[in-house]
Structure 1
Amino acid sequence: MEFQAILKKKQQIIDEALDRYLPKEKALQNKVFDAMRYSVFAGGKRLRPILMMAACEFVNEEEEKILPFACGIEMIHTYSLIHDDLPAMDNDDYRRGKLTNHKVYGEGMAVLAGDGLLNYAYELMMQSILDHPHQCRNATAAMYEIAKAAGVYGMIGGQVVDLNSENTQVDSDTLDFIHNCKTGALFIAAIRAGAIFSGADPETLKSLTSYAENIGLGFQITDDILDIIGDEKKLGKKVGSDQENQKATYPSIHGLDYSVERVNRLFQQGLAAIEHYGEKAQFFTDMAHYLVKREY
């Protein structure tokens, strides 16, 4: 099956699972359910849950078993986007071609929708662990990877430094910290969690981690590039917001040519980390090309 067809199939599996898992019953708190669903189903590519499922399958475990965790990481990712778009953060009006959550539901409800998704993600993962006690150790370790990546030593830590760096000159190490934590952490956690859940040996986990570290950073630098020269219609959001908010980015520090070159090196390093697995790693190879070939 062609890569795009595989990707579409996995996206459909995740979307159907998200629809099953997310609350939709009639209740007094209906509005927050609606707001949560609005952003979750606003057109995401589901890259993180797909990578988690792929890592699970790579280590010879049925990928459906990890669906609660895959959906959980997508909920966490979506919560971060809702909060990122708020006026107190990036102040964006559009996300994936649609009005951002706070533009539809108001700032207060958008905060609660993000909080709701974050908490519900852990409810979902914990329920899965309780329902399958024989998988408790690996599943709990997988959830720990996700929790750590989403917290103050991961995504939130990166967001903190990103906010503190506005209107200031930052060095290359600080910028790498922001990118590695703010975006890279969840990429790495997705792949590590899938591998750990499936009982990966240390060497396999090391290879997959190296792959994830490289594509995670490369993916974020590509975002920096697209914010300057991307097509708003294709991206589904306004370009130029990084410059408008005076955020530290690879192009602003290193220039556009170096940034493109850096992305290409990172993706080559990512491929090198898994090349010894041959055809078994074909999906990850195809995913790397898919990510690096996003249109500039």
Structure 2
Amino acid sequence: MSNPSSDFPHWIQQQLGRVEQALSDWVGRDAPHALGEAMRYAVLDGGKRLRPLLVLAACEATDGLQSAALRAACSVELIHAYSLVHDDMPCMDNDVLRRGKPTVHVAYGEASALLAGDALQALAFELLTPDASEEDIPSAMQATLCRLLARAAGSHGMAGGQAIDLASVGVALTRPELQRMHALKTGALLQASVVMGAACSNASSATHTALQQYGAAIGLAFQVVDDILDVTADSQTLGKTAGKDAANDKPTYVSLLGLDASRAYARQLHEEAVQALQASGLERTDTLRALADLVIERAF
């Protein structure tokens, strides 16, 4: 693995500041008070913000439109946040801890949690379609970003993967079946983050293909690392309930491959991501490389 540039921590701090300010400005301000409060609780003051960082890094690497990328970054994070709110509810994973604090349905009740998730999902697409008085973002770019996000969030992506996950409790999945589940449930939105950042530019089709491959490798690596951390880290470190997958008899890479083999697979996926960047034809990929390192280093 590489040593991230000395500028990388500064870049992260700067971009996180942009994202946090934009989310604070855009989330729940005009909603009815109780709903807005639950929406802001679900989104603000927590989370790694990996998906927004991937959007912004891909946009920078391809010399894209920064104003569009910031909206895309926040939109991806809103979809991610809504999915966590719904996944944590009693009808799904029934979890009580997220990002180091009580889950939304614990703090605000199930009905408010359901509505907050619904509203966050709708807001994600509203942010991607500003009128000319807000941002000068080409309509074709807006449409492309909406399609990419919708596909990654729906039955061909996150929601489809979650459906497979719910149907797989107590089931011994094969490795290809497990990989497909996670490629949809977790990987699709991470991959979309990279592709949406590139979609804010006029990057070549070859560059887009390489970045899709990078995003696919990072998306799957993130889930492998999550499975590793579920059995090696405690709840305080994770910010969510540790050991939940094993307790619920869910198939994971660790349960299928074992801990050492899962770590080896994470390293392999990291290498695939690096190779994709090398094939992208882009000159400035240091930030994307450093983000790939961060994904993997959580498990080692």
Distance 1:68 1:62 in 2: 10
Distance 2:175 2:162 in 1: 16
The alpha-carbon deviation at position 92 of structure 1 amounts to 1.1
Match of 2:127 among 110, 124, 128: 124
Residue 280 of structure 1 aligns to a residue whose secondary structure is coil
User: Partner residue of 1:58?
Assistant: 61
Match of 2:99 among 96, 100, 106: 96
User: Partner residue of 2:193?
Assistant: 190
Residue 39 of structure 2 aligns to which amino acid in structure 1? M
Where in structure 2 are there 5+ consecutive unaligned residues?
Answer: 1-5
Distance 2:9 2:239 in 1: 20
RMSD (Å) for aligned C-alpha atoms:
1.7
User: Partner residue of 1:205?
Assistant: 208
Whether 1:17 and 2:17 are equivalent positions in the alignment is: no
Residue 57 of structure 1 aligns to a residue whose secondary structure is helix
Q: Percent identity?
A: 38
Residue 169 of structure 2 aligns to a residue whose secondary structure is coil
Residue 287 of structure 2 aligns to which amino acid in structure 1? F
User: Partner residue of 2:8?
Assistant: 3
User: Partner residue of 1:84?
Assistant: 87
Greater helix share, structure number: 1
The alpha-carbon deviation at position 251 of structure 1 amounts to 0.7
Residue 46 of structure 2 aligns to a residue whose secondary structure is coil
Could you say if the C-alpha distance between residues 289 and 133 of structure 1 is closer, same or farther in structure 2, counting changes exceeding 3 Å?
A: closer
User: Partner residue of 1:229?
Assistant: 232
Whether 1:44 and 2:16 are equivalent positions in the alignment is: no
What whole-Å deviation, never above 9, does each CA across 1:162-197 have from its counterpart, x for those lacking one? 000012111111111111001100011111111112
Residue 23 of structure 1 aligns to a residue whose secondary structure is coil
Question: In 1, are the aligned partners of 2:267 and 2:296 still within 8 Å (CA)?
Answer: yes
Instruction: Give aligned pairs, total.
Output: 294
Could you say if the C-alpha distance between residues 130 and 243 of structure 1 is closer, same or farther in structure 2, counting changes exceeding 3 Å?
A: farther
The alpha-carbon deviation at position 229 of structure 1 amounts to 0.8
TM-score normalized by structure 2?
0.93
The equivalences for 1:61-72 within 5 A come to 61-72=64-75
Could you say if the C-alpha distance between residues 181 and 262 of structure 1 is closer, same or farther in structure 2, counting changes exceeding 3 Å?
A: same
Where in structure 1 are there 5+ consecutive unaligned residues?
Answer: none
What whole-Å deviation, never above 9, does each CA across 1:78-123 have from its counterpart, x for those lacking one? 0000111111111111111111101100111111110110011112
Question: In 2, are the aligned partners of 1:251 and 1:259 still within 8 Å (CA)?
Answer: yes
Distance 1:130 1:257 in 2: 54
Residue 125 of structure 2 aligns to which amino acid in structure 1? Y
**Higher RCO (Cα < 8 Å, 6 or more apart):** 2
Distance 1:121 1:164 in 2: 28
The equivalences for 1:131-146 within 5 A come to 135-146=138-149
The alpha-carbon deviation at position 130 of structure 1 amounts to 8.3
